[in-house]
Structure 1
Amino acid sequence: MTAAKTSDEVLADAAQVADIDLNGRRIIREGSHAIYQVAGGIVARIGKRGSREAAEREVRISQWLNSVGIRAVEPVESLPQPVVVDDRPVTWWRLIPDHRPATPAELGSMLHALHTLTPPNEPKLPEYDPFDTLRERLVASDVADEGDRMWLQSHYDDLRRRFDELPKPQALHVIHGDAWQGNLVVPASGTPILLDLDKVSLGWPEWDLIQLAVDYTDFSRVSEADYRSFVEAYGGFDLTTQPSFRVLADIQELRWVGFALGQATASAAVAQQAKHRIACLRGKVPRPWRWEAL
């Protein structure tokens, strides 16, 4: 069996197809996507194997959002989108220079505008599933010991039951699916730009509010003043006061544990971070928690 190509090799092959100069290329991130800055103010985004359809939809979502007044990262229209190498799609995006993460208020304002959009007929948005592949990630990891794996599976089952018992909304809304301050950046122009569009879907607006809410309640990464500015910018809805909050918070935090377990083979430090997150969920570490970014 032929070994899978590395991200560097995939990028090199895709750059040949797109006629892009790779001299001076720089890797920005290697995670669920590999992201590189290349010549000409272009960012290459390399997806997972078998994700061509999702990459094509991400390009169309960007075009749609920009057309309806939500400024989003823009694909390079003159290049082939995507180029597929070793079953991994490579898409090309315009670099956003000299930017900062959004403030909580800027994030709240953008989410309010996003959630009030009429869902498009094209591209057709999938329905957001907060449990997507989560059980598999919890079970498959060798980092967690047997006791932790059994607890994680039991916790997962309990959260599914509790979530299924929540009242369901009458309608689903356009959501980002990974809404945090780093995915909304502000360049020198002052107009925020939305990034990482691969999880844009139809779902509960609460899934876009929960990340900042738990940053405030469980991690103390957001001050009370900043959280209040987020709530006010969103229109006054405070998720932390809702009966559903703790269920949604627990699901979000379990998703973050699942992500850490999926990355745990990268290094001993990441594996230790995954174990620390499990210990937090199991009540062995008091809140506010401190989790390192991965």
Structure 2
Amino acid sequence: MTKASDTDWLSIVRSAGTTVGLDVDWAEPIQVSENAIYRLPGCVVARASRPGQLQAARREVNVARWLEASGVSAVQVVPDVDQPVDVDGRAVTFWRELPPHKHGTPTQVAAVLKQLHHLPAPTDFDLGEVAPFVRLEQRIAAAHILTEDDRGWLREHLTELQQRWARLPKGLPWCVIHGDAWVGNVAATDDGQVVLLDLERTSIGPPEWDLVHTAIKWRSFGWITEEQYAEFCGVYGYDVTKWAGFELLRDIRELRMTTMAMQAASNKLALREQAEHRLACIRGDYGARPWSGWKALE
């Protein structure tokens, strides 16, 4: 298997850009990991995926175009470009670069989610249902920092969560959801826009799946205050922590965040301590929530 670090991302982006007639002479890397993001001339951003993501990229392009037509502020694809472009099994898509921006506030997140959750589902393509456990088994298997005891516990925990998901309590009506609605995927631009980013997980599912992201910032990690969370609930009009299924969605989110740290630590040893800390928390070694010490992966 070819490692992401061995991939000639620049050649892939240049090949795709040339195919659709975009200027790629001065492609500048923004982020390179298992995927790659490059800045192109003319305020264009190119995103190249890991192998096997052509269908997912096509769906994300469809979602972006649909949201733009529906009046929801979200990242926009470059118009009049036939995309995604397939380059040796890697999907490349082209997006309009955002103006200067920062992460959205909890109330901004609530407002854009409320707008999204009230949209009727698209009729010209299938969003599919939310996949809360996507890639978790692979992350656990590939995490070389784990002891066999930790790996075994994680697999048992995942199985338990999957069984609980099959008995998910009734909540709000399922609707269009973002699927990964943390503040890093909601941008507040300097000119006053609030923009949804990273649309690959957009699907049909319980709106609580989007809301739990902000809830655990208060209840699990203390990253926001109780007052900020109350403002979030006031704008959206619902408090997910009072729902019978909250603890299940909380536990799944925390597991996803833990395995993401393990994946990152496999490529960056400095993140190992953070990954191990998260695992110790969800295993119960640090007592009741909120837990201290959870930090952003950098």
* Cα drift, residue 208 of structure 1: 0.4
The alignment of Structure 1 onto Structure 2 pairs a total of residues equal to 293
Q: Deviations along 1:256-293, whole A, 9 cap, x unmatched?
A: 12222233321211333322221221122351342332
CA displacement at 1:31 relative to structure 2: 4.2
CA distance in 2, matches of 1:205, 1:245: 12
Per-residue CA deviations over 1:75-110 (Å, capped at 9, x if unaligned) read 111333112112111100011111122111111011
Cα deviation code 1:136-155 (max 9, x no counterpart): 32133222111100111111
The letter of the residue matching 2:241 is T
User: Judging changes above 3 Å, is the alpha-carbon distance between structure 1 residues 169 and 228 closer, same or farther for their aligned structure 2 residues?
Assistant: closer
Letter in 2 for 1:47: S
Look up the match of 2:274: 273
**Residue 36 of structure 1 aligns with which residue?**
38
Over 3 Å counting, the alpha-carbon distance change for 1:122 and 1:193 in structure 2 is same
User: Within 5 Å, which residues of 2 pair with 1:1-294?
Assistant: 5-31=7-33, 33-168=35-170, 171-235=173-237, 237-286=238-287, 287-294=291-298
Q: Following the alignment from structure 1 to structure 2, what is the Cα–Cα distance between the partners of residues 266 and 170?
A: 39
- Decide which moves more: 56-65 or 132-141: 132-141
In 2 relative to 1, CA 157–243 (structure 1 residues): closer, same or farther, beyond 3 Å? same
Query: SS at the partner of 2:115?
Result: helix
Residue identity matched to 2:135: T
Q: Distance in 2 between matches of 1:2 and 1:59?
A: 26
Q: Distance in 2 between matches of 1:9 and 1:143?
A: 32
Displacement of 1:161: 2.3
- Stretch moving more, 23-32 or 105-114: 23-32
The aligned amino acid for 1:255 is: R
The answer to whether the 8 Å contact 1:5/1:86 transfers is no
User: Where do 5+ consecutive residues of structure 2 fail to align?
Assistant: none
Root-mean-square deviation (CA, aligned residues, Å) is 2.1
TM-score normalised according to structure 2 size: 0.90
Gaps of 5+ in 1: none
Identity %: 37
The residue matched to 1:197 in structure 2 has which SS?
coil
1: distance between equivalents of 2:170 and 2:75? 32
Q: Determine if contact 2:172/2:208 at 8 Å carries over to the other structure.
A: no
For the 8 Å contact 1:128–1:202, the answer to whether it is kept is yes
Distance between the aligned counterparts of 1:177 and 1:152, measured in 2? 22
* Pairwise CA distance, 1:5: 3.1
**Farther-moved stretch of structure 1 (197-206 vs 4-13):** 4-13
Letter in 2 for 1:243: A
